[in-house]
Amino acid sequence: MAPPTGPRAGTNASAARGKSTGIRRPGGGIQKQRGPVGGRTDRDGDVSMDAPGGAGATRGRKSGRSSKISERTTKNLLTYATSGPSKSRFANSVALKVTGLDLSSGDSKHISSVLAFLERKASKNLDRQLSINKSAVDGNSLFIQVGKDDVPSFLHLDGFTYGPATLGISESHEPWPQRKSRKGGLSESGAAIKERLQEVLFKRYDVNTRVLNLSALGQDEVLQSMGLFDAKDTAEKAFKALVHICNQQFETDKAKAEAIQGVSLASNALSTVTPVFDLALRFPRLKMLDLSNNNISNLRQLTKWRHYFQQLEVLVLTGNPIEKEEPNYKTELLDWFPKLQIINGQQFRSAQEIEAREAASRPRPIPQAGADFRDSDGVGENFIRTFFPLFDSDRPSLLSTFYDEQSRFTLSLISNGITTSTSVPSWQPYLKFSRNMAKITTDAGRSQRLFEGGAMIADLWKQLPATRHPDLTDFTKYIIDCHPIPGLPDPTRQSSAGVGGLVLTIHGQFDEMEPTTQNVGMRSFSRTLVLGPGPPGRNPIRVVSDMLALRAFNPLPGAPDPATLPAAAPGPVPTAPVVDVEEQKKQMAMALTNRTKMTLEYSAMCLDGTGWDFNMALQAFEEKKAQLPPDAFLPA
């Protein structure tokens, strides 16, 4: 994306010169004196040996000025050539500070003439032409760099008058002003222009309809007073700047698409969309576009936008010559913009039709078939009923019951996941233990992150955040598959063919509290557990392998058929932890605040309204959030 060429110092100047030279470096008062440096090549690519100056350099339309500049460059080149490379410009030069000038306009032409004036006056009564190596503007001070030997001649100009200004010239001991960085900043006048454009945008944005009205920009008093729409190319730049500034207001593309759903470009005398093409890049997800009362006469003038605006639903083209000159344009436009429903207020197709058409062009995902729970004698079901409550409340006793010296546990983070939640809790607590082998590729790293034996696993689980898995009876929050497999290690070592066991795969979610920061958040997980018979004298079931994959929260696909899931009888849940109800409510409110950025009071109110059901509260928030007053939210 080219940088915006509008709001900054120098725009006026380059526009005033007539044909502008396209993109120039933004933001600087620094003007390196440039000319035909580096020699010119002739047709055959040979370097022309003539000294680059004099008549040879006076090409182009601004012969008078460029001859002046090229003379200076010639001098520079000669100095460079005679005093050897590299050092001359720096070691043999001195920085001088010129004060007393009014440079606030940022007009580069003005600065050029000041420089020319200084050179001319300093060279007076000398047999050679003095030159300024480089210059820079900082506020109202002009810094110049001149040859060491020329310093007295320039200092002599102290007290001279230039127009209304009395010049002060002294040796500068300040550091050479740095070029303002492209990111940080704009020059003072640039920032002022930006601020005014922001005001214009603010005035032209309708919060209710979410439409940004950029119609009749030429008649805008503020823009007119800024002189931005006087010439054609400035108008285009001003438009780009407006769109760019508007774009800058949003942190995410989603927020942008949400806030600005429509743009009106009515009555801008547009004969083609080329000058306003940027809109398609900055606001690709617009739903409404108003181009009425412009000069668009045929589809060719719109083609630049053809493959953009794929979400466009409403288009207005009334008051354009195209209506008469290309009467069939609507059919074509419906083809260009797949979501387009309404042209000039007339509905051509419905959202349902578009949806149906889109569905017809999409592959059909393999359907979900409920749970595949091929348990053997309720072993898998009983295990799960014990497993999750114990994992949440008492990990050591879970380990001593089901895990032994050969049990293995690993966890993997899937950081690049699909998620509906806006704030994914930090992965920090898991990061160094994650064995995602797509990311951890060294043998040592993989070996380190494999936790073998109850003791090692216990040590790790102590460091992992506390979790709360939802109740197993809530079928919308779990998908649990289970099937038998042969060939697991026989702890009695009797069967060489191995013994049978179960593979359990559980997809679900849990709430988590990070131990040090007390941050509460929700995650999705997929956990695979392979169960085998335990050794004699121990628990009859052992965990052979336990693999936990964590990802950002995303609800499971449509609730599976409850009939195929284990029956909902209260299982043998041992030692349910005693929970302080008030404390639990407080934590829930904090969790909701964490997710929604509502204040604690509003979170509590919201939870109270849904009987302290976290997910219902979250749903209620999603439905009502547009209507909430601003003081319902934490200050940003």
Chain residues that interact with another protein, rule: CB under 8 A:
310, 359-372, 374, 408, 410, 412-418, 435-439, 443, 446-447, 450, 479, 481, 483, 485-489, 496-498, 503, 505, 507, 524, 526, 528, 530, 544-545, 547, 549, 551, 554, 556-557, 560, 564
**247/509 with CB nearer another protein:** 509
Count of H-run helices and E-run strands, the chain: 22, 21
If the CB atoms of residues 67 and 554 are measured against another protein, the closer one turns out to be 554
Q: CB of 444: closest distance to another protein in angstroms?
A: 9
Shortest approach of another protein to residue 195 CB, angstroms? 35
If the CB atoms of residues 110 and 507 are measured against another protein, the closer one turns out to be 507
Q: Min. distance of Cβ 450 from another protein in angstroms?
A: 7
- Of 404, 381, 384, 392, the closest CA to residue 575 belongs to 392
d(CA 435, CA 431): 9
| 359-365 contact pairs (CB < 8 A, 24+) | none
Nearer Cβ to another protein (55/418): 418
The contacts of residue 295 (CB under 8 Å, 6+ apart) are 269, 270, 271, 320, 321
Q: How far is the CB of 563 from another protein (least distance, A)?
A: 12
Name the maximum alpha-carbon separation found in the chain: 112
Neighbours of 204 (CB within 10 A): 18
Give Cα 247 to chain centroid, integer Å: 11
Which residue, 271 or 310, has its beta carbon nearer to another protein? Answer: 310
Least distance in angstroms from the C-beta of 551 to another protein: 7
Would you say 338 or 429 has its CB closer to another protein?
338
Q: Is 150 exposed, middle or buried (0-12, 13-18, 19+ CB in 10 A)?
A: buried
In the block, tokens 């200076």 appear at: 72
CB neighbour list of residue 387: distance below 8 Å, 6 or more residues apart: 398, 402, 529
Q: Could you tell me the smallest distance in angstroms from the CB atom of residue 417 to another protein?
A: 6
Question: Could you tell me the smallest distance in angstroms from the CB atom of residue 333 to another protein?
Answer: 19
User: 171 vs 353, which CB is nearer to another protein?
Assistant: 353
How does DSSP classify residue 364?
Answer: -
Report in angstroms how near the CB of residue 499 gets to another protein at its nearest.
Answer: 9
Smallest separation, CB 438 to another protein (Å): 5
> CA-CA distance, 410 to 428, in Å (whole number)?
16
Phi, psi angle pair for 364, to nearest 5°: -105, 110
Please name the amino acid found at residue 359: A
The distance of Cα 484 from the centroid of its chain, to the nearest Å, equals: 47
Least distance in angstroms from the C-beta of 567 to another protein: 18
Closest CA to 244 of 281, 206, 199, 271: 281
State which residue, 360 or 581, has the beta carbon closest to another protein. Answer: 360
- What's 26's DSSP letter? -
Q: How many CA atoms lie within 13 A of 144 on its CB side?
A: 27
Closer residue to another protein in complex, CB, 551/597: 551
Residue number with CB closer to another protein (18 or 367): 367
Q: How far is the CB of 403 from another protein (least distance, A)?
A: 13
Nearer CB in complex with another protein: 67/526: 526
Comparing CB distances to another protein, the nearer of 267 and 415 is 415
- Name which of 450 and 573 has its Cβ closer to another protein: 450
Inter-residue contact 569 to 437 (CB < 8 Å):
no
| Tokens coding 60 | 């182009």
Tell the smallest beta-carbon distance from residue 618 to another protein (Å): 19
CB of 241 to another protein, least distance (A): 28
Burial of 431 (0-12, 13-18, 19+ CB in 10 A): exposed
Q: What is 117-156 written as a DSSP string?
A: HHHHHHHTTSSS---EEEEEEETTEEEEEEEGGGHHHHHT
Rounded-to-integer distance, Cα 479 and Cα 508, Å: 7
Which candidate, 386, 363, 370, places its Cα nearest to that of 556?
370
